[in-house]
Structure 1
Amino acid sequence: MGDQTGVTATRILEAARSRLLAEGYAGLSTRRVADIAGVPLSQIHYHFGGKQGLVLSLLDHENSRLVDRQRRMYSAEAPLWKRYEQACDLLEEDLASGYVRVLQEMIAAGWSDPDLARQVLGMMRSWFDILQEVAREAEGRFGKLGPFAATDVAGLVGLAFLGGEALILLGDEQWGRQARAWLRSIGDLIRQVEEA
């Protein structure tokens, strides 16, 4: 019985992802998700409590997987600039998978829902924690990071990615290329510092 429950929840999450990518959070219909998943609407309420719980479960599942991936990538033995370049490459995977869109949709929904905002911020904390670890590592290897504390550098890099993602998702190719170039230029700066 437990295996069937897990299969049903997985089918619902997969259907929710496809509809969220097609329609956004505001247009997401739990009835449509249930139809696509081939389950009664009551199963969404049973497993997730409703639309918000469904989308938060989807985001939490993807977030945990990607944070683990990022942690492994940054703990690898390679120059920091190479690891940063890999993070830029992984952004493309995250855009293609829909994770970035889901995250940005939930950020936007959190602007008018304080409970949702707290949950999304809790998930995002794990990304900033990784960046702080990396910035502290850099500070330990290179000394002071200019006028910034390691936590400041981590925050600025994290915010640069969030802003870049938002610009890319707006769909203008020129802005998207520029946002990607700006993010990659940070890697060029890291390389100059490491090789100096």
Structure 2
Amino acid sequence: MTRAVAKKPETSVTLLEAAKVVLRRTGYAGLSTRDVAAEAGVPLSQIHYHFGSKQGMMLALFEYLNAQLLDRQSAMFTDTTLTFSQQLDRACDYLDDDIASGYVRVLQELIAASWADPTIAKVVRAAIRGWVDLIIAAARRAERAHGSLGPFTPEEVAALISNAFIGAESLQLLGLESKSVPLRRALRRIGDLLRQAEDAASSG
């Protein structure tokens, strides 16, 4: 009689880390479960056992990375010792870490894949919405503390910031950042504009 073998969490994480490596090398379209299994040094059957399919594995990878990022973002955007502009400064500081971790590449690959895959689109939308909601809440606190955010509502501020970061990350992966396309510097200017509004409110 054969005993059922419990899924080992460490095997699942090993596969997700391997998937991240292969994704960065081949992109979503070129990624194969066989390559991921070889990178992880485990049988191909383990991918089907843990995730069911390539799609399931990629969604698990995204959720694995996004949970880490959202925990960090939540701690940052709910830190009442920081002003809204300081929170955005810190978000800019984290950009290189997010690129190095593989999160940005996974997000951008899955955004592209989601255009033709409603299941992936649903997961990606929910993840981005969680991040946008954190920014909206931070913008509302800033509005209560300092008054108007210029002509923008907190929701519009969050839409602009989220679009700016996701767009900058996409162009960064394309290697477009240069002296004439200063992506990081432009992102930091958003914090500078908010700082001016905060200073004006404090002095008024």
- The bucket for the TM-score relative to the shorter chain is over 0.9
The alpha-carbon deviation at position 177 of structure 1 amounts to 5.7
Give the match's secondary structure for 1:59: helix
Question: Aligned residue for 1:88?
Answer: 92
Match of 1:135 among 135, 139, 157: 139
Match of 1:24 among 23, 27, 34: 27
| Structure 1 ranges of 4+ moved more than 4 A | none
| TM-score normalised to structure 2 length | 0.90
Give percent identity, aligned residues only: 50
Alignment of 1:95-114 (within 5 A): 95-114=99-118
Separation (CA, whole Å) in 1 of partners of 2:171 and 2:123:
23
- What amino acid sits opposite 2:158 in the alignment? A
| Paired residues of 1:101 and 1:169 also in contact (CA < 8 A) | yes
Separation (CA, whole Å) in 1 of partners of 2:198 and 2:43:
56
| Paired residues of 1:167 and 1:175 also in contact (CA < 8 A) | no
- What amino acid sits opposite 1:54 in the alignment? M
| Paired residues of 1:25 and 1:105 also in contact (CA < 8 A) | yes
Alignment of 1:7-156 (within 5 A): 7-76=10-79, 77-156=81-160
Give the structure with the higher percent helix.
1
Q: CA RMSD in A?
A: 1.6
Give the match's secondary structure for 1:39: coil
Separation (CA, whole Å) in 1 of partners of 2:191 and 2:78:
17
| TM-score normalised to structure 1 length | 0.94
**Corresponding position: 1:180 with 2:184:** yes
- 5+ residue gaps, structure 2: none
| Paired residues of 1:168 and 1:175 also in contact (CA < 8 A) | no
Q: Which moved more, 1:37-46 or 1:127-136?
A: 37-46
The alpha-carbon deviation at position 80 of structure 1 amounts to 2.2
- The number of equivalent residue pairs is 195
Question: Aligned residue for 1:192?
Answer: 196
Task: Encode CA deviations 1:168-191: one digit per residue, 9 max, x unaligned.
Answer: 110134179611111110011011
